Chains A and B, each alone.
Chain A
């Protein structure tokens, strides 16, 4: 049972001088020590774990979801799960890796439960997304593009294209092609076999490319018509 570990009506951390003093010891405590204390019902120890790792969990979850509310929901679920499973954390691997595994599984479950978009067509694109695509089509033809350009239109469009793929495809593309994770790292995060990761990545790339091609085809036709007319 989750609850009985926490004493009812416990004080808010850092609210008194004594706790502020104790907070220093929490900051210096190892992850394993914090996990042990939190498992025994120490709220402040668990808060310290959240303080250390919530930015990382948030960043990771935001790779899969665009809406802040969904990212928050995922991150919250990660920490609630982590709390119930603190007893299983033995400090063999890093806490970051342990939490990343929980985050991956949580995000995958959320992706599986969310509605999948059947197909994305050019008419579904916003003006920003359409402009971004036009600009980068020309760049792609000449191979002039910055690799990690920060663009909310690109991020939105990527999210919409990914939504047409299966949750497993989304996961593997986001991790390997987006986050530059190695096959070994994906195996550790998901528990999948090496062959499953490789095959999934191969097929996911094809499906992503085909989805993008569907968006590009009408634009290239329009471009070639425009080009021939001007000639």
Chain B
């Protein structure tokens, strides 16, 4: 053990938890190896520092509880305000989309004029063709009056 460096042994556990046999091996080796002796001294100082730190404690101030409760209430108020503002924002978006929909419907209903069908020769010809089909089609007889049929036929011929 004397020839084996003991640094890994120093790092394996807190110094205070090393067994007596481990410690005696460390001491024996440190007596002969300058590097390990330095490491052993540093490990002891490090252990002392950590213990020294653990011995120092702070107690809460008398106003600590009051301050925590005040912060809690403050956060509560902020959260409430945030929730309200979020709700208002959501409601605002809903209302504006509804207004936009109503406006679009109003424009479609009132502002755009209804389309007027102008009779052109082409459309009349098509109509005539359709009328002939209607006449030939027995089922449609009941739906088209005689006057409509004649107007369609002769009107189309006059145009030609």
Contacts and interface: CB of A to CB of B under 8 A. Distances in A.
Interface string B22-50: 00000100000000001111111111111
B52 A158 contact: yes
Interface residues of B, number: 46
- For the residues of A in contact with B, the DSSP-based class is helix
A137 B41 contact: yes
A3 interface: yes
A37 interface: no
Given A55-B59, A150-B55, A158-B52, A212 B72 contact: no
Q: Which of B40, B60, B71 has the most CB of A within 10 A?
A: B60
Interface in A158-179: 158-159, 161-162, 173-174, 176-179
A3 B79 contact: yes
A5 B80 CA distance: 11
B57 interface: yes
Nearest to A141: B41
A210 B43 CA distance: 9
A151 B56 CA distance: 8
A147 B50 CA distance: 10
> What secondary structure prevails in chain B residues at the interface with A?
helix
B64 A205 contact: no
Contacts of B47: 177
Contact of B49 (A5, A6, A76, A157): A157
Given A136-B48, A161-B49, A148 B60 contact: no
A68 B87 CA distance: 40
Given A4-B80, A173-B50, A202-B11, A47 B69 contact: yes
Interface of B: 7, 10-12, 14, 16, 27, 38-61, 64-65, 67-69, 71-73, 75-80, 83
14 contacts: A3-B79, A61-B58, A62-B58, A75-B60, A140-B41, A145-B44, A151-B52, A161-B49, A178-B51, A178-B53, A179-B54, A205-B11, A212-B46, A216-B38
